[in-house]
């Protein structure tokens, strides 16, 4: 899961750099409005890439790590539909 998110982040950031550099190195010679539009698209990509890189999947269980109280942990496991922690 982590490798897939990291790869998606780097692809998106690479596309961002490509758009930005391409806009001002090549496209501006032919059309300034198109270069500005490419930069606007490149401006939107980093926040989207950060959201994708930081989202959690269904198997990432950081919010309900064991609390140390066995009764509480068993109760939460039962609510989540999981077996006992010793079974895992």
Question: Could you tell me if 83 and 77 are in contact, meaning their C-beta atoms sit under 8 angstroms apart?
Answer: yes
What is this structure's pTM?
Answer: 0.63
How far is residue 35's CA from residue 43's CA, in Å, rounded to a whole number? 12
Q: What is the pLDDT of residues 50-83, one digit of tens each?
A: 998 888 776 666 666 667 778 877 887 788 777 6
| Residue 62: both structure tokens together | 């950081």
Residue 70: is it exposed, middle or buried by C-beta count within 10 angstroms (0-12/13-18/19+)?
exposed
- pLDDT of 45 higher than 70: yes
pLDDT category of residue 11 using cuts at 50, 70 and 90? very high
Residues 73 and 18: their CA atoms lie apart, in Å, by 48
Helix (H, G, I), strand (E, B) or coil at 57: coil
């Amino acid at each position: 899961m982590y490798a897939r998110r990291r790869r998606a982040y780097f692809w998106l950031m690479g596309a961002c750099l490509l758009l930005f550099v391409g806009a001002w190195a090549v496209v501006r010679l032919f059309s300034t409005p198109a270069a500005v539009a490419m930069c606007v698209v490149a401006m939107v990509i980093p926040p989207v890439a950060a959201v994708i890189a930081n989202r959690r999947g269904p198997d990432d269980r950081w919010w309900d790590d064991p609390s140390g109280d066995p009764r509480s942990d068993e109760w939460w496991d039962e609510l989540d539909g999981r077996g006992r922690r010793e079974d895992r």
